[in-house]
Chains A and B, each alone.
Chain A
């Protein structure tokens, strides 16, 4: 582990992860938000993006998922270029995405939400629903209830469960702890750890940067739509500059 975070954004020796973002430019309509972003997630890795508000952290995820205007660069996932695919095809490639807000269908039941997560399959995958229920037992108890009537934490679990319905190779989580009561935040991070331990790569944006960096394998620091550097989570935590700027000293 280096004493200071290396001022490099690429993996050493030109290594590529299962997700490889190279020199990505993207934005909304005419407005460019990201410029020259590089990012990798290795197989089974847990990666966090930290940075100040408005740095474009969420935009990185949306761009990977085909929800922004692509302006240049490349995104490959398991060697398939995905930067010009629509979201429904990116799902086919094996990426699951949990947006930050309004991430459940409030008017649908819990079970129906999970069924929608597997929409691209011809049949409802009962074994996968079983697996999600085993992971989040409260969802089974509430399976017939409208998702809108669940608590914030339960909705977050449902949103993750929905994204896990296709057993993705990479799970992208946008601020999973947002809006959760403090005592639920730790539990949520534990659950994410477990998902990662079971072999799913995780890419996460978190406002709770300290906790996120403590738990992840690697972190990227994103400032003004450009990523300045990356390092092991612990190394970033120890880095004076990162502490000063994003972690409140």
Chain B
């Protein structure tokens, strides 16, 4: 009886919104399929006119967890970078298309500094070199290294590239510089481009930002060249096979199937991103500046009437948004290794997807959206094997469209920066 009633209710809901029913059905099939894959049940092939279809299969749980982890890693970067875009959207009321290139600027400036420090042999050696060069006393260690090709990221330090194990100081200083440089660039651009058009409409600002995007991107290409390069090395980088660790700790699970490799760069990324996000949360909820930012996102005219110094808050918004974006750029490169002048631009679409999915203007939504986008683009690889794997990115966008169809104002719909 009970079951009948449930089926009845389900059918009625399906008739009311057939679209939702289809989506739920597909989701259910995928979930069942995933479970079947995990326990190793395989059915099929079912012949269709175009290709043969299998249900279930054999996917070790380690692969699923591994994909989920890499989804979290990329999701953390997207989430971090989305915050800045979301902040400028809600407080300045425009979609900043140069946001991705802010990220590129952060990545390049941070890594250039990391290269120099790692190349010369640490911060102490760098200080010594600078002091010697300025005073003219002592030997210059820089004589042994080609400073120009280090700054321009042409020849890697330590023969292979920097990493957090061999040159932790270089990485930390690089991260700080990435944040600082992005902030400086954002403030300068605001002063000379966006501030003169503060009262312009969103479309004009958007188009101006596209101009800024091109300018930044090709400035970076001009200085650093247009080749994509690998800047990190995995030499001696600590990593851990979580699958083995788990089966070692819990022997009754049997021997490990497959492996889940987590390296220190990924852990660094996730930890730093989480700390920064938590810090931002505290700032927005507990501090006077954060409350003023939320107030301005809510109602700019009223903020002005209330005596909130709007220009100062806007400056802080750029500072925080750009700082987080610069950090995201640096950390992205730390975990992925590759860096090119289009790095941020290519990521921008995913960042926009995260912001839109989370509900434009909501920073918590942007963080959640980033995680969903990251997870979707990686987890979909469970089904998209072989040639199909290039559809992983489109899958993330498809999911975004689905979410927007059912929740037009985003996951955190309607909730502004609060």
Q: Which residues of A are in contact with B by a Cβ distance under 8 Å?
A: 65, 67, 87-88, 91-92, 97, 99, 102-108, 112, 115-117, 119-120, 146, 162, 166
Contact = CB atoms under 8 A, between A and B. Distances in A.
A67 B295 contact: no
Contacts of A87: 304-305, 307
B308 A119 contact: yes
A112 to B, nearest CB: 5
For B288, B291, B307, B309, which residue has the most chain A Cβ atoms within 10 angstroms?
A: B307
B298 A106 contact: yes
A103 B306 CA distance: 10
Nearest to A97: B305
B51 to A, nearest CB: 50
Given A107-B415, A108-B418, A102 B299 contact: yes
Given A88-B309, A115-B288, A119-B288, A108 B295 contact: yes
30 contacts: A65-B305, A67-B304, A87-B304, A88-B304, A88-B308, A88-B309, A97-B305, A99-B305, A105-B295, A105-B299, A105-B302, A106-B298, A107-B297, A107-B298, A107-B415, A108-B291, A108-B294, A108-B298, A108-B418, A112-B294, A115-B288, A115-B291, A116-B292, A116-B306, A116-B308, A117-B307, A119-B307, A119-B308, A120-B307, A166-B307
Nearest to A117: B306
B345 to A, nearest CB: 32
Interface of B: 288, 291-292, 294-295, 297-299, 301-309, 415-418
5 tightest A-B contacts by CB?
A107-B418, A91-B307, A105-B298, A88-B307, A105-B295
Given A102-B302, A117-B306, A117-B307, 17 more contacts: A87-B304, A87-B307, A99-B302, A105-B294, A105-B302, A105-B303, A106-B299, A107-B297, A108-B291, A112-B295, A115-B288, A115-B291, A116-B291, A116-B303, A116-B308, A119-B292, A146-B418
Nearest to B313: A119
Contact of A162 (B288, B301, B306, B415): B306
Contacts of B294: 105, 107-108, 112
Contact of B416 (A67, A99, A107): A107
Contacts of B303: 105, 116
A166 B306 CA distance: 10
A24 B319 CA distance: 40
Nearest to B297: A107
Nearest to B312: A88
B370 to A, nearest CB: 21
